[in-house]
Amino acid sequence: MKITVIGAGNVGATTAQRLVDKQLANEVVLVDVIEGIPQGKALDIGEATPVEKTDVRVVGSNTYNESANSDIVVITAGIARKPGMSRDDLMNTNSGIVRSCTEAAVAKSPGAIIIVVSNPLDVMTYVAMKVSGFERHRVIGMAGVLDAARFRSFIAAELNVSVEDVNAFVLGGHGDSMVPLPRYSTVAGIPITELLSQATVDRLVKRTRDGGIEIVNHLKTGSAYYAPSSSAVAMVESIVRDKKRILPCATWLQGEYGLRDTVVGVPVKLGKKGMEEIIQIKLNADEQAALAKSAEDVRSSIAKLKI
């Protein structure tokens, strides 16, 4: 198994480190345009392998030659979100970056599965799918895993319980219109709507929607990377080990949930072929309306792209 991570910033480098620590590949390649950065970080990660007892070759490169014949490509490249910057503000710059990264990666690894982490996530997933020409099951966006992880952490803290016993679903676009689903979010199988007041649930839902910008506002000059990298690696692990996990991921919809021609987060089964199945859960009228609105927000952003 060979995995390439494009972008050696905080998200990309941490993703590479987690891939190596979990020994999910024989070789991990870190690609970045800035000379010396991917080489230095790859060397540093590689020098930790004797301590972590992980026999993984780690390579850093400014070209895509070393990435040839990758099984999975994780795209994290792009500018980071800054205070006062909406996800839409990122779109024009990052779409060009993701396009060039996808073109270069696909030329070297035409059989790869692509996982997109760059923001605005749903639109960048569309860009990667469109540019690559891949079938939709081979281009998946990491969003719902991260948003659900944030929701789960907030629920666990509120109830003072282990995060292991908390499950949560967050669908829709990775932005202000995301759709956390309290009805499908549980603690040891008990819906959180039976454990928390409506006011508390509403507060946690809002904090989940604002999860990314809350971190940006604290960091001032950066954005989240520990949880995003963990979320991307959870997707990689399900694919590499053919675990068939059901995870909320961004994918191109063609009629599922009554939605078409847009990328939006829904529950999917991840296995060795990539996105192997879209799981359609029953939504009530309010949830369906919220998902439709979120999908329309993404669709309207996609319509502004020049691809």
The C-alpha angle 152, 274, 61, rounded to 5 degrees, equals 90
Chain position carrying tokens 């990298």: 229
Check if 174 is active-site.
yes
Residue 193's identity, in one-letter code, is T
Cα 76 to Cα 138: distance, rounded to the nearest angstrom: 16
Which residues touch 232 (CB under 8 Å, ≥6 apart)?
11, 15, 74, 76, 115, 117, 142, 145
143 CB-side CA count, 13 A: 32
Structure token digits, residue 189: 């199988």
Of 41, 174, 209, 299, catalytic: 174
Specify the pairing of strand 139-141 against strand 190-191.
unpaired
Sign of CA dihedral 39, 125, 143, 2: negative
The CA angle 43-44-48, to the nearest 5 degrees, is 110
Catalytic residues: 174
